[in-house]
Amino acid sequence: MTAQSPSPSPPDELAEGLFQVQHHALLRAILDNLSEGVIVADARGHLLYFSPKAQTLSGLGLTDASPEAWSEKYGVFHPDMRTRCPTEKLPLYRALRGEQEPEEELFIRNPQAPEGRHIHSSARPVRDIQGTLLGAIVSMRDIHRQRQAEAERHLTEQRFRLIVEAAQEGIWTLDTDNRTTYVNHYLAEMLGYTVDEMMGRHVHEFMDEERRQRVTQNLEKRRQGQGGVVDFQLLRKDGQPVWTMLSSNPMYDEEGRYVGALAMVTDITQRRAAEEQVRQLNAQLEQRIAERTAQLEFSNRELEAFAYSVAHDLRAPLRSISNFTLALTEDCSAQLDDTGQDYLKRIRASAQRMSELIDGILALSRVNRTEFVQAEVNLSALARSIAEQLQRWQPQRTVRFRIQDGLVDRGDSQLLRSVLENLLGNAWKFTRERAIAEIEFGTTLLEDGKQRVYFVRDNGAGFDMAFREKLFGVFQRLHTQQEFEGNGVGLATVQRILRRHGGRIWGEGLVGHGASFSFTLHETTTPPAVEPGPNT
């Protein structure tokens, strides 16, 4: 016969066999190696078993302490780590009193565990088949790191909340439906609400109809991942407008999904009021400038018309004086002695002088009336043309001209020709006593190295720098008519022309050692307090 294999024992028989004496070591090993601490007590509260994990968590093992002394003996506190937990609140004690599944979060600190530890304790009463209470068993789970992490997170959140609430700036968060999920007290007070009054309300409730479409467009950009900063008008609870600067950005969850928007809100009502005041002041200033400019233009036109009229009206009597003195000279010279002839010459010279002054006045008045036509002007070519003209006028003189090549600038060619004619003409006039005259036209740079400075330099009579303020005044002359002819209008005309070109002019000289006149065009920086010359 074939041997029959033994039939398997029923599960209940196997379970019963596990609790036989020969398996006590296995059971003890199982209990000792559980990841949670285990404590067993009998029905009278005598502690029978502490697993190694339970001993580690509690700091103590088995003791003969009575149930009423457990809290004191083991140092059991509530999770706040300060308040003693009464023994009657302990899960083991409650289980022995028949409570089915009591549990508590506790903190244990005693001389053997001075640092203390957070645990989760749960208990169950143990009964036999007849329901008689045999004791209770407690499981203890280490939650110390979890509670530390929660405490740190709570502390961080508390600090963050303190920072947010202390910030002198509004903070506002919205959910995906654009409803308020958080505001700090600063923002609520800014808009005249309490925090609770703003929570859950749609952002549109805090602005007028005109701006709702704009904020909807801005929030759509936040959904697309774009941030932005705008000046925006909100409405207070009382309906008054508040100008704010909104700096907003999208918010995302841990999986990168859009969960709403965060805005930093700054009250700029005072700034906007100041800007509006400045705008109004600027508008008033512009109006005043326009009025003053119109008045000035009218005055200038009147002065120019007056100068032109006077100049033209003076020519008739001058011509009469000149013609009659000429007639006297031609028709009555035999009847005049030398003194009379001298008087006639002086009268004719004065009339000629007056005619030149009138020409100067007309030339000066034409500077501002002439249409300003700006183009590229070859100043080097203009200077050579003027030098050749001067040389043809007095070919007997020896004059060395040094004219820098390639000097091109923007301006009105006719007006700039007048500038060079006056400056080179003066240099020609005031060097006539030199056997060999030297006249130079060139450029240098200001100290900043950017602004070009033109100069006309000569080795002529020069002038006393003590009187340089008179150089550019109308009819102001530093030399007598007997020394050097002139009407005292040329440099004043030059100055006006250069001002129309955004430039300026200044002179340097030394009596008997020549003079240098420097000028700029289209200056972009504030002129220096001391005007340098090309020799510095």
Burial of 94 by CB count in 10 Å (0-12 exposed, 13-18 middle, 19+ buried)?
buried
Q: What is the pLDDT averaged over residues 219-244?
A: 89
Residue count (the chain)? 536
| 215 neighbors 203 (Cβ within 8 angstroms) | yes
Same domain (yes/no): 145, 193: no
Query: Within a domain: residue 364?
Result: no
Q: Which two tokens stand for residue 85?
A: 């937990």
Regarding predicted confidence, which is higher, 13 or 453?
453
Residue 279 CB partners (closer than 8 Å, separation 6+): none
132 and 209 together in one domain: no
pLDDT(478) > 60:
no
Residue 528: pLDDT band (50, 70, 90) is very low
Q: What is the C-alpha to C-alpha distance for residues 205 and 212, in angstroms, rounded to an integer?
A: 9
**Position 389 in a domain:** yes
Does the pTM surpass 0.85? The reply is no
**Which structure tokens are listed for 76?**
């059991």
**Same-domain status, 298 and 228:** no
Per-residue confidence (pLDDT) for residue 356, from 0 to 100: 66
For the stretch 71-101, pLDDT in tens is: 898 889 999 888 999 989 999 999 999 898 9
Residue type, 391: Q
pLDDT per position as a tens digit, 32-86? 777 788 999 998 988 888 888 888 888 888 888 888 888 898 889 999 888 999 9
Would residue 95 count as lying in a domain? yes
Cα separation, 369 vs 374, in Å, equals: 15
Phi then psi for residue 113, to 5 deg, are -135, 65
pLDDT (tens digit per residue) in 425-439: 888 888 888 889 999
Q: What does the DSSP 8-state code read for residue 23?
A: G
Pair (253, 319) in one structural domain:
no
Let me know if residue 203 belongs to a domain. yes
Q: Strands 437-445 and 399-403: what pairing?
A: parallel
Residue 227 DSSP class: -
**pLDDT greater than 80 at residue 339:** yes
Q: How many domains does the chain have?
A: 4
Asked whether the predicted pLDDT for residue 481 surpasses 60, the reply is no
* Same domain, yes or no: 242 and 321: no
141 and 249, same domain (yes or no): no
Contacts of 165 (CB under 8 A, 6+ apart): 184, 185, 186
pLDDT in tens, 286-306: 888 888 888 877 776 776 766
Q: What are phi and psi of 14, to 5 degrees?
A: -60, -45
pLDDT band at 21 (very low <50, low <70, confident <90, very high): low
Residue 59 identity: G
Question: How many other CB atoms are found less than 10 A from the CB of residue 421?
Answer: 19
CA 218 to CA 400: how far, in whole Å? Answer: 74
Q: What's the CATH code of the domain at 455?
A: 3.30.565.10
User: For position 175, what pLDDT does the model report?
Assistant: 93
Question: What's the pLDDT tens digit per position in 180-227?
Answer: 998 888 889 999 999 999 999 999 999 988 888 888 888 888 888 888
Separation CA 88–CA 136 (nearest Å): 15
**115 and 177 inside one domain:** no
Query: Does residue 157 form part of some domain?
Result: no
Residue 493 contacts residue 366 (beta carbons within 8 Å)? no
- In the 3-class helix/strand/coil scheme, how is 394-427 assigned residue by residue? CCCCCEEEEECCCCEEEECHHHHHHHHHHHHHHH
Mean pLDDT score of the chain: 81
Concatenated DSSP letters of 478-525:
SS-TTTS---S-HHHHHHHHHHHTT--EEEEE-TTS-EEEEE-SS--S
Percent of the chain with pLDDT over 70: 81
Query: If you compute the radius of gyration of the chain from its CA atoms, what whole number of angstroms results?
Result: 54
Let me know whether 18 and 66 are in one domain: yes
Nearest to 263 by CA among 190, 197, 156: 190
DSSP readout, 303-324? Answer: HHHHHHHHHHHHHHHHHHHHHH
pLDDT per residue as tens digits for the range 125-170: 999 888 899 899 999 998 888 888 887 887 777 776 766 676 678 8
Domain shared by 250 and 310, yes or no: no
How much of the chain, in percent, has pLDDT values that exceed 90?
Answer: 22
Give, in order, the Cα–Cα distances in Å from 4 to each of 1, 11, 14, 247, 402: 9, 21, 21, 86, 136
- What are the pLDDT digits (tens) for 506-523? 988 888 888 899 999 988
244 falls within a domain: yes
193 is a domain residue: yes
Question: For position 193, what pLDDT does the model report?
Answer: 94
**Nearest 10 degrees: CA dihedral of 388, 389, 390, 393?**
120
Q: What is the pLDDT of residues 344-372, one digit of tens each?
A: 778 877 777 677 666 666 666 666 666 67
Q: What is the pLDDT of residue 63?
A: 83
Ranking 19-28, 416-425, 436-445 by mean pLDDT, the lowest is: 19-28
For residue 504, report the phi and psi dihedrals to the nearest 5 degrees.
-150, 170
Q: Which residues span the domain enclosing 51? A: 12-150
Whether residue 2 lies inside any domain: the answer is no
Cα–Cα distance, 419 to 459 (Å, whole number): 20
Domain match, 382 and 433 both: yes
From 428, 432, 407, 418, select the one nearest 491 (Cα to Cα).
Answer: 418
Amino acid at the residue 120 = H
pLDDT computed for residue 367 by the predictor: 63
Distance set, CA 298 to CA 302, 305, 306, 400, 472 (Å): 6, 10, 12, 46, 24
